[in-house]
Amino acid sequence: MKNIFKNRMIKGMVTIPVGKDADEADKLGVELKARIQKRFGRSFHIREVDTGSCNGCESEIIATTNPIYDIQRFGIDFVASPRHADALLVTGPVSKNMALALRRTYDAMAEPKFVITLGDCALDGGAFKDSYYVAGGVKEILPVDLHIPGCPPSPLAIIKSLLDFLSA
């Protein structure tokens, strides 16, 4: 214990500043929270479905909830059930074996509901477009309200896109 304390005293503070993206997220988040409160009077609930991604898009979505971006504080909540969701967030090309599950998830949501696609694969299949197992982009199966481009989009780009969408 004594050695641990001594090492801490010698090394000093090792936490690095979080950077300008986090500062910008802080600013955008204030607007995002106000928008969500105005439109929904509560949090904006999102159900995420991966229909065959490489998990790059999921990593960035998860990053929006890390201590740097902490998107929950702005009123965005990721939920496990489509019945609790305002929006369906879809990543990846739609693989043939996920097309029906995607449709059923959408059908289980209450109105009004939104469909948001995230990443180039969800738009039209992206890097996996001509693969034998890809049914197509999400828009071939569901009405899409917002597309967040990128391969993958950064957490800040995701926050910006949500703000623009909810401000429209």
Interface with ligand SF4 by CB under 6 A: which residues?
53-54, 56-57, 91-92, 119-121, 126-127, 151-152
Backbone phi, psi, residue 50, to 5°: -95, 115
CB of 105 to ligand SF4, least distance (A): 18
Contacts with 59 (C-beta within 8 Å, 6 or more apart), sequence order: 152
57 or 159: CB nearest ligand SF4: 57
Residue count (the chain): 168
Q: Tally helices (H) and strands (E) across the chain.
A: 6, 7
Contacts with 136 (C-beta within 8 Å, 6 or more apart), sequence order: 93, 94, 124, 125
CB of 4 to ligand SF4, least distance (A): 40
75 or 126: CB nearest ligand SF4: 126
CB of 120 to ligand SF4, least distance (A): 4
54 or 158: CB nearest ligand SF4: 54
> Tokens 């988040």, residue?
29
CB of 9 to ligand SF4, least distance (A): 43
Closest residue to bound ligand SF4 by CB? 56
101 or 127: CB nearest ligand SF4: 127
Give the SS3 label for residue 1.
coil
